[in-house]
Amino acid sequence: MNRWDRIRKGVIFSFKGGVYPEEHKSAHVFPSHELPFPKKLVIPIKQHSGVGGEIIVSEGQHVGAFEPLTASNSPMAIPVHAPLSGIIEKIGPSLVPHPSGLAEMCITIATDLPAMQVKYNNPNFPLYQMENPATLLDHIKNMGIAGLGGAGFPTDIKLRSSVNPNNPCELLLINGAECEPYITCDDRLMCERAIEIVRGIKIIQHILRPKFTVIAIEENKPQAIMAISAALNEEHCEKARVTSIPVKYPSGAARNLIKIITGIEVPYQARSSAYGVVVQNVTTVFAVGRAVLLGEPLVKRMVTISGDSIRNIGNYWAYIGTNVRDILNACGFTPDENPRVIIGGPMMGYTLPNANVPIVKTTNCIIAPRGQELKRLKPQVDCINCGRCAKVCPARLIPYELHDYCITEEHNLALKCGLKSCIECGCCSFVCPSAIRLVESFREEKAKIKAVKRKEEKLKIAKERYAAKRIRVQEEERLRAERKAQALAKAKALAELKKSQKDNTQEDATRALKGAEKDAAIAKARADAQAKANTSSKTNGDTK
């Protein structure tokens, strides 16, 4: 059986490492709900990985629902939109969901009453089959779609790199693994909106023209598997299959998923598109479908609200910009002493320092655990070299070694040990019997290396500027010396001319003039040489 047959038949491979945390996925049984209508929405202008766009609205202005709020020509900047119509109340920095409580530029909208909503019309392409992929990709960008699985990488860029005859997409991999505990929004979405997801898949198929499409779903979601399979039939989506994969964390990480489905290990230094595989999250695909077919930008998403401190756990449709605190209160949040509010899953998420922050595009889950429901970290003791961390690392790193280099700030050794390949999945910290904060140290080290690099770059720019300036100054000096020499020669020639005029012989005069020219040339050469000597001695002096 060759690789393609295996992919088509749904034969799966396995990857080394990974852990089996408790699943806590009870929220998946409840159908999704709408949250109470928000009175105020706070939209951070940058919600993806990349740069924020420029704000194209002003305070006091009335915006319609779905109206773009930012715009930019930069490919890494994708716009944000108004989820609901209302008046722009404030444009300014405000708290965003971030582990250290960052404040970033946000646009605050005071929403109109539900009955007074007005809609802004974006273009849509119900007959996308007739469209050029480039048009659709631009539209996907304009609708503000970024990877909703976690990192928030602009979707259009990811797709664009595979719309390339030299590097075509062979396999489209739709990621419905959802391997993190607690999170069930993808599961719910697949159960409830299977048809729309499959429509989204068809649009991406139209853009990428892959040989085959695999929708990978962990086998603990039988309903979702059934729903998507049925939808594939119903929508006549060909060359596609649902492959159920074993439950293991982190099988939803892109590279591990590729390994499971194709058996290929894409190195962390390479992009998966170079290997002919494009991975998209189901929620992203759903958003693409709505954007292309209905012209609806990414302004609403499903969020899992779970944890024992929440009375009504479940999956909720939340507008981007809705306040997390309001959501928690609406779901019946009863904090215990030392409450934790975790954004994202328990493995890769982070605790919020302040719940007064908005939901953003990449927020897939909010967990408010109670007591020891999620074990609080034990005090750290020394590493006993047991090697458990290395055994579970899906990136095949050796965390305990890496940790040593990270805490001693051996940047180069840490990089050599594969720090860059660490996906911060948390498996190593999860199993460590000494409760060593491995992942934390890796994150810090990454930040430190970034800072060092930035500093070096700045230094390099400054050096370059300095060098350029010196060359310019030298050039000026040389020119000046040249001019001086020319002037001197001219003066000399003139003097000679005068002399020769005294002699009154025409021939002499021309000869003298020639001689003067020669002199001038010699003088110029000398000046050049001197300038050069100057430079070299200066540089020598510098290097010393």
Partner 1 sequence: MSHTLYQEGAPHDANVSSTGKIMRLVIYALVPAIIAHFYFFGWGIVFNLLFCLISSLVTEGIILKLRGHSLNRLWRDSSAALTAVILAIALPPLTPWYLTIIGCVFAIAIVKHAFGGLGHNIFNPAMGGFVFLLISAPLPMTEYIEAVPNNYLNVTAPRAISIIFNINKEQNLYNAYNDAYKHVITRDDADTFMANFDAITGATFLIDAKHEQPKNNVYSFIKVRMMDLSNYTFFAHLVISSLFLLGGIALIVFKVIDFRIPLSFLLTVIIIASICYEIAPNTYLPTLYHLTFGATFFGAFFILTDPVTAVPKPIGAVIFGIIAGIIFMLIRNFGGYPDAVAFSVLLTNACAPLISILTKRREFGAKSHPGDIYER
Contacting positions for ligand SF4 (CB under 6 A): 383-389, 392-395, 397, 399-400, 422-428, 431-434, 436, 438-439, 442
Please report how close the Cβ of residue 210 comes to partner 1 at its closest, in angstroms. 11
Give the residue with the Cβ less far from ligand SF4, 435 or 525.
435
Please report how close the Cβ of residue 348 comes to partner 1 at its closest, in angstroms. 6
Give the residue with the Cβ less far from ligand SF4, 154 or 252.
252
Helices marked H in 265-312: 282-294
Please report how close the Cβ of residue 282 comes to ligand SF4 at its closest, in angstroms. 23
The structure tokens listed for 314 are 């479940």
Site string for partner 1, 3-22 (x = CB under 8 A): x---------------x-xx
Is residue 239 within the footprint of partner 1 (CB under 8 A)? no
The answer to whether the beta carbons of residues 163 and 208 sit under 8 Å apart is: yes
Q: Are strands 54-55 and 70-71 parallel, antiparallel or unpaired?
A: antiparallel
Residues of span 150-189 touching partner 1 by CB under 8 A: 170-171, 181
Please report how close the Cβ of residue 449 comes to ligand SF4 at its closest, in angstroms. 15
Give the residue with the Cβ less far from partner 1, 226 or 348.
348
Please report how close the Cβ of residue 262 comes to partner 1 at its closest, in angstroms. 6
Q: Which does 346 bind (CB under 5 to 8 A by kind): ligand SF4, partner 1, none?
A: partner 1
Residues 6+ apart with CB under 8 A from 523: 485, 486, 488, 489
For residue 259, give the nearest of 211, 293, 205, 216 by alpha carbon: 216
The answer to whether the beta carbons of residues 346 and 374 sit under 8 Å apart is: yes
Please report how close the Cβ of residue 316 comes to partner 1 at its closest, in angstroms. 18
The answer to whether the beta carbons of residues 332 and 310 sit under 8 Å apart is: yes
In the block, residue with structure tokens 């489905």: 261
The answer to whether the beta carbons of residues 334 and 300 sit under 8 Å apart is: no
Strands (E), 192-286: 212-218, 240-245, 277-281
Q: Which does 148 bind (CB under 5 to 8 A by kind): ligand SF4, partner 1, none?
A: none
Please report how close the Cβ of residue 349 comes to ligand SF4 at its closest, in angstroms. 13
Residues of span 375-394 touching partner 1 by CB under 8 A: 375-378, 381-388, 390, 394
Give the residue with the Cβ less far from ligand SF4, 128 or 400.
400
Is residue 434 within the footprint of partner 1 (CB under 8 A)? yes
Residues of span 479-508 touching partner 1 by CB under 8 A: none
Count of beta carbons in the 10 Å neighbourhood of residue 316: 26
Question: In the Cβ-directed half-sphere of 348, how many Cα atoms lie within 13 Å?
Answer: 21
Give the residue with the Cβ less far from partner 1, 62 or 446.
446
Give the residue with the Cβ less far from ligand SF4, 317 or 350.
350
Give the residue with the Cβ less far from ligand SF4, 77 or 428.
428
Give the residue with the Cβ less far from partner 1, 17 or 200.
17
Angle, alpha carbons 79-279-8 (nearest 5°): 150
Please report how close the Cβ of residue 49 comes to ligand SF4 at its closest, in angstroms. 18
The structure tokens listed for 422 are 């660490």
Give the residue with the Cβ less far from ligand SF4, 217 or 422.
422
Give the residue with the Cβ less far from ligand SF4, 386 or 491.
386
For residue 389, give the nearest of 1, 10, 12, 19 by alpha carbon: 19
User: How far apart, in whole angstroms, are the C-alpha atoms of residue 458 and residue 487?
Assistant: 43
Residues of span 334-353 touching partner 1 by CB under 8 A: 335, 338-342, 346-353
In the block, residue with structure tokens 């909010």: 366
Residues of span 251-310 touching partner 1 by CB under 8 A: 255, 262, 264-268, 270, 274-277
Is residue 399 within the footprint of partner 1 (CB under 8 A)? no
Give the residue with the Cβ less far from partner 1, 255 or 290.
255
Number of residues that bind partner 1 (CB under 8 A): 78
User: How far apart, in whole angstroms, are the C-alpha atoms of residue 328 and residue 491?
Assistant: 90
In the block, residue with structure tokens 């929220």: 27
Q: Which stretch binds partner 1 (CB under 8 A): 226-234, 431-439, 449-457, 465-473?
A: 431-439
Give the residue with the Cβ less far from partner 1, 71 or 348.
348
User: How far apart, in whole angstroms, are the C-alpha atoms of residue 197 and residue 204?
Assistant: 11
173, 286, 475 from 230: Cα distances, Å: 18, 16, 75
Please report how close the Cβ of residue 184 comes to partner 1 at its closest, in angstroms. 16
Residues of span 454-483 touching partner 1 by CB under 8 A: none
Total count of residues recorded for the chain:
544
Four-CA torsion 284, 290, 295, 296, nearest 10 degrees: -70
HEC assignment per residue over 428-458: HHHHCCCCCCHHHHHHHHHHHHHHHHHHHHH
Q: Which of 260, 285, 328, 516 binds partner 1 (CB under 8 A)?
A: 328
Q: Which does 422 bind (CB under 5 to 8 A by kind): ligand SF4, partner 1, none?
A: ligand SF4
DSSP state of 190: H
Q: Which does 235 bind (CB under 5 to 8 A by kind): partner 1, ligand SF4, none?
A: none
Strands ordered across the beta sheet of 350-351: 33-34, 314-319, 300-306, 365-367, 342-343, 350-351
Q: Which stretch binds partner 1 (CB under 8 A): 133-141, 369-377, 484-492, 509-517?
A: 369-377
Please report how close the Cβ of residue 97 comes to partner 1 at its closest, in angstroms. 12
Identity of residue 416: K
| Number of H-type helices and E-type strands within the chain | 15, 16
